[in-house]
Amino acid sequence: MLKETVNSIALNKMKIKPESIEKIENDNGAIIQIDGDNVGIYKDPEGKIYAVKPNCSHLGCLLSWNNLDKTWDCPCHGSRFDYMGRNIYEPGIHDLEVKKI
């Protein structure tokens, strides 16, 4: 029972996505949709926005935001990218595409 509740809470948290850039707090990141495309947004502590295409440069998996390390992490094979999209951990070797918003 407790395990099911914890799993349910975790799943619900994963489903919650900000609908707009305005809902992302400073020093946080999230994936939002702009014109039907996924866009990875990070707002620095001053509110400056960094936007990337949130697909791994290795084989294209959807990345997730790691707010502890301020990185975009790939759940498939472990590639990591900094908040500006620069590749910092293999197997991905290319940086993420930077998006203009």
Q: For residue 76, state whether it binds ligand FES (rule: CB under 6 A).
A: yes
Q: Where are the beta strands (DSSP E) in 27-97?
A: 28-34, 37-43, 49-52, 64-66, 71-73, 80-82, 87-89
What does the angle CA 67 – CA 45 – CA 68 come to, to the nearest 5 degrees?
15
Nearest CB to ligand FES, comparing residues 43 and 82: 82
Residue of 49, 77, 94, 98 that binds ligand FES (CB under 6 A): 77
Q: Residue 29, class by beta-carbon neighbours within 10 Å (0-12 exposed, 13-18 middle, 19+ buried)?
A: buried
Pick the piece of the chain touching ligand FES (CB under 6 A) from 5-13, 28-36, 40-48, 72-80.
72-80
62 binds ligand FES (CB under 6 A): no
58 belongs to the binding site for ligand FES (CB under 6 A)? yes
- What residue ranges bind ligand FES (CB under 6 A)? 56, 58-59, 61, 74, 76-79, 91-92
